[in-house]
Amino acid sequence: MDDLLADFLTETNEGLASLDAALLQLERNPANSAVLSEVFRTVHTIKGTCGFLGLPRLEGVAHAAENVLGLWRDGTLPVTRGGVTLILSAADRIKQIVAGLEAMGSEPAGDDAPLKAALDAAAAGEAPPKAAVQAEARAPVAMEALIAAEAPAAAPPDAAPEISAGGVNAPQTIRVAVDVLEDLMVLVSELVLTRNQLLQLARSEENAAFAVPLQRLSQITSDLQDGVMKTRMQPIGNAWAKLPRLVRDLSNDLGKRIELDMRGADTELDRQVMELIKDPLTHMVRNSADHGLETPEQRRAGGKSETGRILLNAFHEGGHIVLEIGDDGRGLNTERIKAKVVAQGLATEAELATMSDREIHRFIFRAGFSTAAEVTSVSGRGVGMDVVKTNIERIGGIVDLRSREHRGTTFTIKIPLTLAIAAALIVEAGGERFAIPQAGVLELVRVGSGDGPKVELIKEAPVLRLRDQLLPLIPLKRLLRLETEAEKPDAESFVVVTQLGSQLFGIVVDRVFDTEEIVVKPVAPILRHITIFSGNTILGDGSVIMILDPSGIARATGLGVETAADNGAMQAQSSRHLGRHTSLLLFRAGEGAPKAVPLSLVARLENLEAARIERAGDSLVVQYRGSLMPLVPLHGLMALPEAGSQAVLVFGDGVRAMGLMVDEILDVVDASLDMDTAGVRPGFLGSCVVAGKVTEILDTAFWLKRGQADWFEPATAGGGRPSVLIVEDSGFFRNLIVPSVIAAGFDVTTVVNGREALRLRDAGERFDVIVSDINMPELDGFGLARAVREGGIWADLPMIALSGRSEPRDVERGRAAGFSDYIAKFDREALLTSLQQCLQPALVR
C-alpha cells in the first residue's frame, strides 16, 4: 500500500469515527450549524481525496451524501431524522469500502446505485414541498428496506474485510494528541532532574547500596528521554509541505519561473522548534522568490537559465539542525545597502569602508531595513528580516547569509534540535547563580588577576582587549543590580565571550562553575516582563536558578545593534568588525620586505647580549635558562654584533627552545592572512599585505628544523617525555587542558578535529596517547576512534575521550568506538590520572 493511500485511510478512519457522533448530535439539534459544518467538511474531504486517489465507489457515495449535506448547510433543506439516517447509512457504506480498501489495497466490488439514488432523491426532495414532507415521514422505513434489500448484494465483498480487520494490514502508526506527548515530555524532564539529584547524592556516598540500581535507573531514564524526544520529532518536510504551492502561486503572481528544490526533507527536529520556524521559513522563501530571483528576461540577459531556483536544504550538525534557503538570483546589492545604511544613520561611510561585503550584507537583519526598491504585494508587509532573526534567536538559533552579486543569496539557519533540554554554563554574579545557554558561548577568559588580560574602561564602558580586538563587556552584577558597596575593582572575574549572530560581547561574572544539562521551564507570568531571563530551571542540587537570555541582555544594554535601533556609546565600538584576524609579530631581518610570524607561535622575545652568544662548531648557541639554545640567523650572512645586543625570537615547546636572530622587532598587528604564494622562497610561506606593506610570512617549521634537525621527532624517542595528541575544537577547553597536561610532564600537540588528527597520523606523526573531544566539526571523537582503531600506526594507542556528557550510556558508546577511557571535560584530575594509567603498560613493557 503506498504512503498516500495509507495516510488517506488513517485520516478517513479518524473522520469517520467522529462522524457518527456528530450526526447523532445533529439529529438532536438540527440547528447546530457548527456540527453540520464539521460533518460536511469531513465528507467533503473524503470525496475530494478519493477523487484524487482514483476511488470511484467512495467518491460516488461521498458525493451523493455531500449534496444532501450541502443543502442542509445552506438551509434549503431542513435536517430531518430520515435524512440523518440516510447520511449515517452512507457513512456506514464508506466505512465498508474503506475497510475493504485497507484489507486489499483496492476498492471492493459492490453496487451503490440504490443508496446513491436514495440520497439523490433526498437532495431533490426539496423541490416539491409535499414530497419532502412525505420523504420525512417515510424515509426511515424506506431506508431500512433499502438497506435490507442491499445487504445480500453487499455481503460478498464485505466478508473479506471483516475477517482481516485488525489483521496484517492494521495500521502501524497511531495518532496521539500533542498534549499527551507534551505531558510525557514534561514528566521525563522531571525524571531527568530527579535522576540528576539522585546521582549527585550518590556521588557523596561511598559504596552505597543503591549505587547499582541507580546506575540502571539512570540509563533507563536516558533511554526514556531519547524515546520521548523521538516521539516529538517530525521530519522538517512537514513544515515545507505548503511551500511548493506557495512557490507556484508566487511564480504566477510575479511572472517568474521558479523551481523549488527541497533536500533533506526527512531531517527530523522537535515539533515545538518546527512550529516556531515555520513562519520565518515561509517568509524567507517568499523573499527569495520576490527579491532574490530575477524575471525570465533579466535572467536570459544575464546568461542564466530562465528558470530560477530556490534550494531548501536541511541537515543535522552536532546537536543542531542546519537549514539553508538559497536562490540563484541577483544577490544582494551591496551599494544599495550601503546607501541605505548611511541614509538611516546606522553607520558612517568611513565605517562601511572598513567592513567586508558580508558584514555590510548583515545590515539587512536590522529593524526596518528592506532593500526592495518598491514594496510589492508579496513582500514588504512590514515583516522584515529583523523579525526572522529575532524569532530564530529567541529559540537559541543563529541566522547568517552569504550573497554574491548575480550568483544568488543563501541564508543559513542553525537551530537546536530541541528546546526542552539544553546545555548551560553555570556562573555566579553577586552571590547568585545563573545559567547561560552554552550555544552562544565561545570561550571563557579570566581577567583581573596578575599579568592576564584586564578589563579596561573606554569612557564609562568596560571593554576587554581580546587578541587585539575590543570586546564590549556587560558586567552581569551591574546589569542585575547585584552590586555591593565595597567592590574591589581588580577582583578576579571571568568574561563569558558570547556570540549573538555576528556580534561578540563579553558577560562579566564572578565565578564559573560547571556545565549542566538543564530543563528549561518558563518563568511565572509575573516575571515575564524581565526579558533578561529566558526561563528558569532546577539544578542537580535541587536549587532553583534563572536562565539568562544573551539576546535579552544585549538588548537591555543597547548592545543588540542588529535588532534595536536605540544606541549608545557602546554601539560604535561593538559594531566594529570583529572578524577573525591573526595577531602577527612584525620584524625586520636583512634587506627587503618586513617579515611576520603569527604571534601565537613565538614563546618569548629576547634581547641577548652579544657577548653571551657562543660559537659551537658551525652553529651559534647561547646559554639560555639552564641549557644551550641554538641560534639561527634569519638572514644567512648576518654578522655577529661585536657588542650591544641581538634581538631574538624564541620558539619553544617546553623542552626544546630555539632562537631566531632578527634585526629589529617592529610591531604586533592584527591582520587577516590572505596569503599570496607567488615568488615564495624557502623559509617563507608567502606574502601578504600587513599594515599597508607587503610582508613575508615566516615558515616557522623550516627555521625550527634549521635549529634542531630533530625538532619534529617525538621526544619520547630519546626516552624523554611522553607525548599526547589533544584533539579538541574549542579554544577554551584547549587552553584549559593543555597547560595542566604540559605541567604534568607531557609533550602536547593539539589539533582541532578528528580529520586534522588523521592527517597527522597519515603524515607519520607518533604519539603515546590520544585525548579527544567527542563533539567536533568535520570528524567527531567517535569517528576518530573508529578510524584510529581500523588500522595505521596509531591502532594500538590508548585513547581518552573528553566529553561534557559522561553518563554510562555515553561511556558505553565511547568504549564501543574504541576509546580506552571516558572522562568529563572539567575533571582535570581524572584526566591526568587516566593519562598516567594509559601509559603504565607501555612503561612496563
State the residue for C-alpha cell 531556483: 309
State the residue for C-alpha cell 541605505: 340
CB of 480 to other proteins, least distance (A): 4
Among 225, 288, 493, 536, the residue binding other proteins under the rule CB under 8 A is 536
Binding residues among 619-678 for other proteins as defined by CB under 8 A: none
CB of 542 to other proteins, least distance (A): 6
* 3-class secondary-structure state, position 120: helix
Residue 481 within binding range of other proteins, rule CB under 8 A: yes
Among 152, 166, 345, 525, the residue binding other proteins under the rule CB under 8 A is 525
Residue nearer to other proteins on the CB measure, 214 or 665: 214
Residue 545 within binding range of other proteins, rule CB under 8 A: yes
Cα distance from N-terminal residue to C-terminal residue, the chain: 64
Please, are residues 90 and 119 in contact by the beta-carbon 8 Å criterion?
yes
Please, are residues 401 and 412 in contact by the beta-carbon 8 Å criterion?
yes
CB of 523 to other proteins, least distance (A): 8
Q: For other proteins, which stretch binds (CB under 8 A), given 260-268, 369-377, 521-529, 648-656?
A: 521-529
Residues in contact with other proteins, counted by CB under 8 A, come to a total of: 27
Among 529, 615, 625, 845, the residue binding other proteins under the rule CB under 8 A is 529
Q: For other proteins, which stretch binds (CB under 8 A), given 81-89, 218-226, 510-518, 537-545?
A: 537-545
Residue nearer to other proteins on the CB measure, 207 or 543: 543
Please, are residues 803 and 810 in contact by the beta-carbon 8 Å criterion?
yes
Residue 475 within binding range of other proteins, rule CB under 8 A: no
CB of 193 to other proteins, least distance (A): 6
**What letter would DSSP give residue 715?**
G
Residue nearer to other proteins on the CB measure, 537 or 575: 537
Amino acid at 827: D
CB of 91 to other proteins, least distance (A): 39
CB of 479 to other proteins, least distance (A): 8
Residue nearer to other proteins on the CB measure, 479 or 758: 479
CB of 537 to other proteins, least distance (A): 8
Residue nearer to other proteins on the CB measure, 60 or 437: 437
Burial class (CB in 10 A: 0-12, 13-18, 19+), 102: buried
The DSSP H or E segment spanning 470 is: strand 469-475
Residue 243 φ/ψ, nearest 5 degrees: -70, -40
Residue nearer to other proteins on the CB measure, 175 or 528: 528
Return the CA Rg of the chain.
Answer: 36
Residue nearer to other proteins on the CB measure, 60 or 430: 430
Can you tell me the distance from the alpha carbon of 241 to that of 490, in angstroms, rounded to the nearest whole number? 57
Q: For other proteins, which stretch binds (CB under 8 A), given 308-316, 403-411, 535-543, 836-844?
A: 535-543
Can you tell me the distance from the alpha carbon of 527 to that of 533, in angstroms, rounded to the nearest whole number? 9
- The 10 Å Cβ neighbour count of residue 519 is 19
Residue nearer to other proteins on the CB measure, 77 or 547: 547
Residue 373 within binding range of other proteins, rule CB under 8 A: no
Show the CA angle centred on residue 239, arms to residues 370 and 173, nearest 5°.
175
Residue nearer to other proteins on the CB measure, 545 or 771: 545
Residue 193 within binding range of other proteins, rule CB under 8 A: yes
| Assigned C-alpha cell, 768 | 603515546
Residue nearer to other proteins on the CB measure, 523 or 839: 523
Residue 845 within binding range of other proteins, rule CB under 8 A: no
- Strand order in 441-447's β-sheet? 441-447, 493-500, 503-509, 469-475, 461-466, 455-458
Residue 528 within binding range of other proteins, rule CB under 8 A: yes
Residue 430 within binding range of other proteins, rule CB under 8 A: yes
b/e per residue, 223-254, with b = 16+ CB within 10 A? ebbeebbeebbbebbebbeebeebbeebbeeb
Q: Residue 807: which residues within 8 A CB-CB, separation 6 or more?
A: 218, 219, 222
Helices (H), 165-177: none
Q: Which of 508, 477, 509, 393 is closest to 440 using CA atoms?
A: 393
Residue nearer to other proteins on the CB measure, 158 or 432: 432
Residue nearer to other proteins on the CB measure, 431 or 568: 431
- Strand order in 723-727's β-sheet? 747-751, 723-727, 769-773, 799-803, 821-824
CB of 484 to other proteins, least distance (A): 13
Residue 538 within binding range of other proteins, rule CB under 8 A: yes
Query: Could you please report the per-residue DSSP string of 611-624?
Result: GGEEEETTEEEEEE
Residue nearer to other proteins on the CB measure, 64 or 548: 548
Residue 96 within binding range of other proteins, rule CB under 8 A: no
Can you tell me the distance from the alpha carbon of 510 to that of 335, in angstroms, rounded to the nearest whole number? 45
Among 159, 178, 530, 572, the residue binding other proteins under the rule CB under 8 A is 530
Residue 511 within binding range of other proteins, rule CB under 8 A: no
Residue nearer to other proteins on the CB measure, 382 or 525: 525
Residue 487 within binding range of other proteins, rule CB under 8 A: no
Residue 432 within binding range of other proteins, rule CB under 8 A: yes
Residue 478 within binding range of other proteins, rule CB under 8 A: no
Q: Residue 588: which residues within 8 A CB-CB, separation 6 or more?
A: 594, 595, 662, 663, 664, 666
CB of 208 to other proteins, least distance (A): 22
Q: Which of 378, 377, 376, 399 is closest to 388 using CA atoms?
A: 399
The DSSP bridge partners found for residue 422 are 518
Residue nearer to other proteins on the CB measure, 179 or 349: 179
Q: Which of 507, 504, 475, 500 is closest to 551 using CA atoms?
A: 500
Among 58, 532, 584, 737, the residue binding other proteins under the rule CB under 8 A is 532
Can you tell me the distance from the alpha carbon of 229 to that of 798, in angstroms, rounded to the nearest whole number? 34
CB of 496 to other proteins, least distance (A): 17
Residue nearer to other proteins on the CB measure, 490 or 541: 541
Residue 559 within binding range of other proteins, rule CB under 8 A: no
Residue nearer to other proteins on the CB measure, 195 or 761: 195
CB of 573 to other proteins, least distance (A): 25
Can you tell me the distance from the alpha carbon of 303 to that of 821, in angstroms, rounded to the nearest whole number? 58
Among 113, 527, 569, 640, the residue binding other proteins under the rule CB under 8 A is 527
Among 482, 599, 605, 668, the residue binding other proteins under the rule CB under 8 A is 482
Binding residues among 163-192 for other proteins as defined by CB under 8 A: 190
Residue 524 within binding range of other proteins, rule CB under 8 A: yes
Residue 521 within binding range of other proteins, rule CB under 8 A: yes
Please, are residues 681 and 697 in contact by the beta-carbon 8 Å criterion?
no
The DSSP bridge partners found for residue 647 are 607, 662
Residue 543 within binding range of other proteins, rule CB under 8 A: yes
Residue nearer to other proteins on the CB measure, 489 or 525: 525
Can you tell me the distance from the alpha carbon of 784 to that of 818, in angstroms, rounded to the nearest whole number? 9
Can you tell me the distance from the alpha carbon of 777 to that of 791, in angstroms, rounded to the nearest whole number? 22
CB of 566 to other proteins, least distance (A): 19
Residue 194 within binding range of other proteins, rule CB under 8 A: yes
Q: For other proteins, which stretch binds (CB under 8 A), given 97-105, 150-158, 477-485, 605-613?
A: 477-485
Can you tell me the distance from the alpha carbon of 447 to that of 164, in angstroms, rounded to the nearest whole number? 74
Which residues of the shown chain bind other proteins in the complex (CB under 8 A)? 190, 193-194, 430, 432, 480-482, 521, 523-530, 532-533, 536-538, 542-546
